[in-house]
């Protein structure tokens, strides 16, 4: 499957994977991810919430009060399985 053919939700996971957002230390805010993938913040947060419910993404609130997201190992498997 070609990257252009992926649904937005899977493109978001792929973007997080490509940017190595795979550990809490390098987690990104919804705003940062939205800018990178060029989607609205509301759209990105909705997708991230769904991915978190499915175990593909985890979130936490940093010391400044910002919610940050990173890809889980299950999310990495999901990304890799999109291309097999």
At 51, give phi and psi (nearest 5°).
Answer: -65, -35
Which spans in 1-84 are helix H? 8-18, 30-37, 41-53, 73-81
Region 38-46: what's the mean pLDDT?
Answer: 94
> Where is pLDDT greater, at 75 or 80?
75
Evaluate if pTM is beyond 0.85.
yes
Distance, in Å, from the CA atom of 23 to the CA atom of 80, rounded to the nearest integer, reads 17
2-27 tens-digit pLDDT: 566 778 888 899 999 999 999 999 99
- Comparing CA positions, the residue from 76, 3, 10, 77 lying closest to residue 48 is 10
Domain 3-81 carries which CATH code? Answer: 1.10.10.10
- How many residues does this entry show for the chain? 84
Q: Where are the domains of the chain?
A: 3-81
């Amino acid at each position: 499957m070609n990257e252009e053919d992926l649904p937005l939700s899977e493109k978001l996971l792929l973007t997080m994977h490509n940017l190595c957002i795979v550990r809490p230390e390098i987690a990104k805010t919804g705003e940062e991810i939205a800018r990178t993938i060029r989607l609205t913040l509301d759209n990105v947060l909705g997708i991230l919430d769904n991915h978190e419910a499915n175990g593909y993404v985890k979130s936490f609130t940093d010391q400044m009060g910002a919610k940050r997201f990173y890809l889980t190992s299950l999310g990495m498997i999901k990304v890799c399985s999109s291309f097999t």
